[in-house]
Every structure is written in C-alpha cells, then in structure tokens.
Amino acid sequence: MPSPIIIKEINAKNIITPSKIPGCDFTLNPYVGCCHACVYCYAGFMQRVTKHAEAWGDFIDVKMNAGDLIYRDGDGAGLAAARAKYDGKTITMGSVTDVYQAVEGKYKLTRQILERLQRLDVELFVITKSNLVTRDIDLLLQQKNCTVAISLSQLDEALCRRLEPRAPSVVSRLAALRKLHEAGVRTVLFISPIFPRLTPWAELVAETVAVVDEYWFENLNLYPTTKQGIKAVLDSIDGRLWWDEYLGKYYGRDGERFWREEEQRIATYCKQRGIAHRIFFRH
Ligand code: SF4
C-alpha cells in the first residue's frame, strides 16, 4: 500500500532560480516534492535540503504565491522588472518536480505561471511525465517560444510502474505527445533515463517519430540515494545478474567506454534517419 502524500500549502521566497543545466538559464518549480516517486530520481536531495521527514515522493509543498513571485497581475513595475531579468533567457519548468503532477489539477499553479510568462519574451521548456499538460494547450500555443518535453524511458507498462510508481501510464504519455503535436505545440520526447539493457530507445523513437519534433537522450546516473531502489528493481527482473553487470560494465571501470559508445550509437542512428536530437550524457 503506497504511503499517503502529505500536501502542504506554503508561501515561497522564490520560484525562478539560476541554473547550471546546459542550455538553460533558469529553472522554475512551483512545487517542492514530486508524487511520481521515480526510483532513479536525482531530485531526492530536495528532501534533505527542505528538511522533510517524509520519504521522497510522499510530500508536496505547494507554492501558493507562485504566480506573484514572477510579477503581480496589474503591477506594471513588477512586470518591467521581470522583463528586464528574464527576456531573452531560457526557462525550464520542472527540473526537480513534475509541474503537471496530480496536485496541479487542483491548484493550477503551472497554468497561472504560463499566463504570467506569456507577457515575457522567454524560451520556455516544459518537462513532464503527465498527460495533464494537454489541459494547457491553449496557453502553451500562446507562448512566444515553447517546447513541451514528455519524458519516458520504457514502453513496458509494468516495468514503468516499478520504476515510476505513481507516474502516468506509458500509453497516456504517448497520447499526450500526439495531442500536443496535432495542436501545433513543439514536442520533444525526452528518453530519460536510459537504463542499460532496459530502455528500448530505438523502439521509442520508431513508435513516436510522426509526432515528435526533437529527441533528447539522457543516461541513467547512479546516485548514493537511488542505488538501492534501482538494484531492487533489477534484482526482481533477473536475480543479481543485472546488478552485477551494472556495477561492472556500465558503472564500473568500463562504464565510461560503454556510455561513449552508446552515445555514438544514438548519434549515428539519428543522423542516418535525419532525426533532430540532443544527447545529455554524463559519464
Ligand atoms: S517525475 Fe521527475 S522530479 Fe518527479 S520523481 Fe520522477 S524524476 Fe523525480
């Protein structure tokens, strides 16, 4: 039985923060915490930073003043200050939370933020695993420069459920991609994270190529906080064999070579098919 999710309404001090992510000037996260509880989530460090006693995935702080932290409606000086700060910059929504996780259905903070961002001249990237994003197609189309990235690492629903226990289904994410694309929103399929032996990235591309404008690829990283969860999933598939292989071939001495070659395989595959792509591998 999953633990209940503790939802707390808070007033935050800031919502847009400078970023060191390549190609991203700022990140924007209207929630602290993420109910999807992915076993590989690097954002689990937020639990310690925010001093939450609950496990990652079991708490969500809702930044009730999210929209006003960008600028207040009707506040000309606030809008001018926001423009001076963010115009011409890139903003990524959803770097340490999912901006369309279930609570967004009730609080509509992401929708409120999109309304505010419309009056700025930013390049916006929205990253999500949720089909709730299609609710805001009207606003996404009104952004000057906007891309929606749906992240997915599996086609197998059962495996997806074990890796991302509370995230929306594979089929709903594929349907969301189609709906966004057909509406005219620029789409990315963010194949992330790539699990060696488990992520069928070529099949994911083949399955979606008609509705995706660009592919992003990111490899799985093993963090001290995520190792046990990932090991448990791999052990449940194939005893300890895969975990031993992970520690040796993919994350041990040979790991760097494996990921360099994988990067090359992906780049060659995409180039041969004229597929726009970006590879965000760290190894
Ligand atoms: S959706 Fe993203 S932020 Fe949320 S738990 Fe999964 S990896 Fe972490």
Predicted local distance difference test score (pLDDT) of residue 47 = 67
Q: Mind listing the pLDDT tens digit for each residue in 150-180? A: 999 999 999 999 999 999 999 999 999 999 9
Q: Does any ligand 1 atom lie closer than 6 A to the CB of residue 34?
A: yes
Tell me: pLDDT of 3 over 80. no
Q: Does any ligand 1 atom lie closer than 6 A to the CB of residue 37?
A: yes
CA distances from residue 236 to 80, 163, 225, 233, 242 in whole angstroms, order as listed: 55, 12, 19, 5, 10
Q: Mind listing the pLDDT tens digit for each residue in 5-27? A: 999 999 999 999 999 988 899 99
Q: How many CA atoms lie within 13 A of 90 on its CB side?
A: 12
To the nearest whole number, what is the mean pLDDT of the chain?
94
CA of 97 to the centre of ligand 1 (A): 6
> Cα(first)–Cα(last) distance of the chain, in Å?
36
Predicted local distance difference test score (pLDDT) of residue 241 = 81
Q: Mind listing the pLDDT tens digit for each residue in 204-237? A: 999 999 999 999 999 999 999 999 999 999 999 8
Indicate the pLDDT class of residue 52, thresholds 50, 70 and 90. Answer: confident
CA of 44 to the centre of ligand 1 (A): 9
Closest residue to atom 8 of ligand 1, CA basis: 41
* Token pair for 228: 């046990």
Atom nearest to 95 CA in ligand 1: 3
